[in-house]
Amino acid sequence: MSTSYLIRGAALLGGERSDLLLADGVIAAAGPDAAAQATADAITLDGEGLVALPGLVDLHTHLREPGREDAETVYSGTRAAALGGFTCVHAMANTDPVADTAGVVEQVWRLGNEAGWAEVRPVGAVTVGLDGEHLAELGAMADSAARVRVFSDDGKCVWDPVLMRRALEYVKAFDGVIAQHAQEPRLTEGALMHEGVVSAELGLTGWPAVAEEAVIARDVLLAEHVGSRIHICHLSTAGSVDIVRWAKARGIDVTAEVTPHHLILTDESVRGYDPQFKVNPPLRTAADVAAVRAGLADGTIDIVATDHAPHAAQDKDCEFAAAAFGMTGLETALSVVAETMVNDDANDFGWADVARVMSTAPARIGRVAGQGGALRVGEPANLTLVDPDARWTVDPARLRTASDNTPFAGRELPTRVVATFWRGAATVLDGEPQPDGAR
């Protein structure tokens, strides 16, 4: 018998308060039935003041294994995910070797199962070795034990329009989706930060908004032409929001994600040349931040995805141009969304919306059964309890990701993950990861 948990009085999606009984991997009972059906050995948790959300699902996580285990492993990354409230992460394909075969995706999937912190859904590469030239065996990855449904060359753009068309068409056979890292390569050669007033002053080569927008415009039209669905990774500009809004109005089957950092940080952060603020796509302007928040609030942007990108210390402790792109995000994502969307009165955005953009919608896009469900009797017990009123100061040394490259060091953020349950087992209790044997 696995341990069962009786959660007393948590606010479901921030609304109605209810007891929940988690037993045998599912939500076994809710409301007054929960306490009535709880066995004597059930562990009772006080949910007073806490919000219960379905376990968060990240569609964009770099776990770095295989290849860069000095930056992160499947184990350390999924443990960080659990601490951030996630019960499922999509492991990006740009590992070494690249996840472009059934063998590699099955290896990552198996490592996730063995780690036991969260469900790991490997993302398959669109092209062999991310070379942008030859389609990888997408069908083999889809048919593998890892059941891959999301395909992406993330880190690189599928730039060749013919290849992109083929990929969009091909994955229809198994209900897959291409997640595009939209970056016109010629317009971004040597680019280090958003092209605008700040890049002009700092003398850093600019990454113009048009390099993202032009690819998104092309790809939504391609998706329309071949009748495929398409997902846009880490959309970052006001123009991109407009294009996706237009595409949705036209009936194109497009979904889009925004990262937490693009909801809160701007290119002004780069002024100190601190490589912790070097990320791809780059931090944009305040007007872009306002636009992606509005886009997330009105549903143009479907989801928040972390683009958690851990890097070894030496890859950030250097001059800006030499540093790696990327920032960690699994353990700060929910707090940033709380700060920028829930707590910001400019948006009509509640905890039910958080559940939608961080759990339900990403699970649907990734075709992940058993994740992102309602907090209802009979559903798999994948959920997280958060304290919306807690405030905490980010200390890189205390985060459980294996890398220190958070852009939020020293910053106070709202909302803390108190507990996370995956398939009914507690991966996090009292904000602490649970020991391997206890899960």
Partner 1 sequence: MRHLLSAADLTRAEAIEILDTAETMAQTQSREIKKLPPLRGMTVVNLFFEDSTRTRISFEAAAKRLSADVINFSAKGSSVSKGESLKDTAQTLAAMGADAVVIRHPASGAPHRLATAGWIDTPVINAGDGMHQHPTQALLDAFTMRRRRHGAATTGTDLAGARVVIVGDVLHSRVARSNVDLLATLGADVVLVAPPTLLPVGAEVWPCALSYDLDATIAEHTPDAIMMLRVQRERMSSAGGGFFPSPMEYSRRYGLDGARLRALPDHAIVMHPGPMNRGLEISAQAADSARSTVVEQVSNGVAVRMAVLYLLLAGGRSSERNAQ
Q: Which does 204 bind (CB under 5 to 8 A by kind): Zn ion, partner 1, none?
A: partner 1
Which residues make Cβ contacts (< 8 Å) with residue 317, sequence separation at least 6?
275
Q: Shortest distance, CB of residue 86 to Zn ion, whole angstroms? A: 19
Which residues make Cβ contacts (< 8 Å) with residue 159, sequence separation at least 6?
132, 184, 185, 215
Q: Shortest distance, CB of residue 155 to Zn ion, whole angstroms? A: 6
Burial class (CB in 10 A: 0-12, 13-18, 19+), 221: middle
**Contact present, 106 and 75 (Cβ < 8 Å):** no
Residue 70 lies near partner 1 (rule: CB under 8 A): no
Q: Which does 287 bind (CB under 5 to 8 A by kind): partner 1, Zn ion, none?
A: none
Applying CB under 8 A, what is the total number of residues that bind partner 1?
Answer: 22
Q: Which does 392 bind (CB under 5 to 8 A by kind): partner 1, Zn ion, none?
A: none
Pairwise CA distance, residues 280 & 303, whole Å: 18
Among 317, 350, 364, 387, binds partner 1 (CB under 8 A): 317
Of 199 and 382, the one with the shorter C-beta distance to partner 1 is 199
Of 34 and 89, the one with the shorter C-beta distance to Zn ion is 89
Q: Shortest distance, CB of residue 276 to Zn ion, whole angstroms? A: 18
* 348 catalytically annotated: no
Phi, psi of 427 (to 5 degrees): -90, -25
Q: In this structure, how many other beta carbons lie within 10 angstroms of the beta carbon of residue 275?
A: 25
- 235-274: which residues touch partner 1 (CB under 8 A)? 272-273
Collapsing DSSP states into helix, strand and coil, what is residue 272? helix
Residue 318 lies near partner 1 (rule: CB under 8 A): yes
Catalytic residue among 19, 307, 315, 353: 307
**29-to-1, 149, 379 alpha-carbon distances in Å:** 17, 32, 10
Burial class (CB in 10 A: 0-12, 13-18, 19+), 68: buried
The conformation of residue 28, written as its DSSP 8-state character, comes to E
Pairwise CA distance, residues 81 & 329, whole Å: 9
Q: Which helix (H) or strand (E) holds 103?
A: helix 102-115
Of 223 and 327, the one with the shorter C-beta distance to partner 1 is 327
Q: Shortest distance, CB of residue 154 to Zn ion, whole angstroms? A: 4
Q: Shortest distance, CB of residue 16 to partner 1, whole angstroms? A: 50
Pairwise CA distance, residues 381 & 63, whole Å: 24
Among 43, 287, 322, 369, binds partner 1 (CB under 8 A): 322
Q: Which does 202 bind (CB under 5 to 8 A by kind): partner 1, Zn ion, none?
A: partner 1
Pairwise CA distance, residues 216 & 233, whole Å: 10
Q: In this structure, how many other beta carbons lie within 10 angstroms of the beta carbon of residue 51?
A: 27
Q: Which two tokens stand for residue 3?
A: 């341990």
Of 203 and 410, the one with the shorter C-beta distance to partner 1 is 203
Site map 181..210 versus partner 1, x via CB under 8 A = --------------xxxxxxxxxxxx-x--
Of 286 and 318, the one with the shorter C-beta distance to partner 1 is 318
**Contact present, 164 and 156 (Cβ < 8 Å):** no
Of 203 and 437, the one with the shorter C-beta distance to partner 1 is 203
Q: In this structure, how many other beta carbons lie within 10 angstroms of the beta carbon of residue 3?
A: 14
Q: Shortest distance, CB of residue 418 to partner 1, whole angstroms? A: 35
Of 326 and 373, the one with the shorter C-beta distance to Zn ion is 326
- 128-187: which residues touch Zn ion (CB under 5 A)? 154, 181
**Contact present, 390 and 347 (Cβ < 8 Å):** no
Q: Which does 154 bind (CB under 5 to 8 A by kind): Zn ion, partner 1, none?
A: Zn ion
Q: Which does 69 bind (CB under 5 to 8 A by kind): partner 1, Zn ion, none?
A: none
Among 174, 246, 320, 392, binds partner 1 (CB under 8 A): 320
Catalytic residues: 307
Q: Which residues bind Zn ion (CB under 5 A)?
A: 154, 181
Q: Which residues bind partner 1 (CB under 8 A)?
A: 195-206, 208, 272-273, 314, 317-322
